[in-house]
Amino acid sequence: MGLSLLGRLYAWFWLFFASGLVSFSPLYGICNFAKLPQVEIFSPPTISESEHLRALTAGRFNPDTFFAGMEPMTVTRMILQADALDTRTSKLNRLQVGEWALVARNYLRDAALSPATRKDLAAGVINSSAPESRAKSHLIDALLGSDPENVDRDITEHDNARYENQQPYFGLPPESYSTRYDHLSKIFKSLNLQPGSKIVDLGSAFGRVGFFIGLQYPTVDFVGFEIVPERVREAERVRRHLDIQNIAFKEQNLADLAFTIPTADVYFFYDPVSESTLQKIIGELAALKKKSRSFHIVAIEGRGQLLKTMRSLPWLKDVTPPNTFDPMNANKPVCRDTMIFETIDSFEL
127-150: pLDDT as tens digits: 888 877 788 888 899 999 998 888
**Residue 250's beta-bridge partner residues?**
225
Q: Which of 175, 151, 300 has its CA nearest to residue 229?
A: 151
pLDDT at 136: 86
Do residues 186 and 284 share a domain?
A: yes
Q: Residue 349's closest CA among 284, 289, 294? A: 289
Examine the domain organization and report whether 186 and 333 are in the same domain.
yes
Kind plus residue range of the DSSP H or E element containing 135: helix 134-144
Let me know whether 87 and 220 are in one domain.
no
Same domain, 291 and 215: yes
d(CA 281, CA 287): 10
> Are 261 and 337 members of one domain?
yes
Look at residue 217 in the predicted model and tell me its pLDDT. Answer: 96
Domain with 10 in it: 5-144
| 272 Ramachandran zone, left/alpha/beta (phi>0; psi -120 to 50) | alpha
**Residues 136 and 242 both lie in one domain:** no
Q: What is the pLDDT of residues 233-277, one digit of tens each?
A: 999 999 999 999 999 999 999 988 999 999 999 999 887 778 888
Round to whole Å and give the CA distance between 320 and 333: 9
Residue 132 resides in a domain? yes
Element (H, E) at 126: helix 115-126
Residue 115 makes CB contacts below 8 A (sequence gap 6+) with 241, 242, 243
Judge if 115 and 190 occupy the same domain.
no
Residues 196 and 335 occupy one common structural domain: yes
Q: In the predicted model, is pLDDT for residue 86 greater than 60?
A: no
Query: Do residues 231 and 300 share a domain?
Result: yes
Residues 333, 187 share a domain? yes
User: Which letter does DSSP use for residue 222 in this model?
Assistant: E
φ, ψ for residue 340, nearest 5 deg: -115, 130
Angstrom distances, CA of residue 278 to CA of 9, 38, 127, 164, 205? 69, 44, 34, 14, 17
Count structural domains, the chain: 2
- The predicted-structure confidence for 183-240, as pLDDT tens digits, reads as follows 899 899 989 899 999 999 999 999 999 999 999 999 999 999 999 999 999 999 999 9
Give yes or no: residues 198 and 305 share one domain.
Answer: yes
Residue 10 pLDDT level (bands cut at 50, 70, 90): very low
Are residues 117 and 193 both part of a single domain? no
**Would the pTM count as exceeding 0.85?**
no
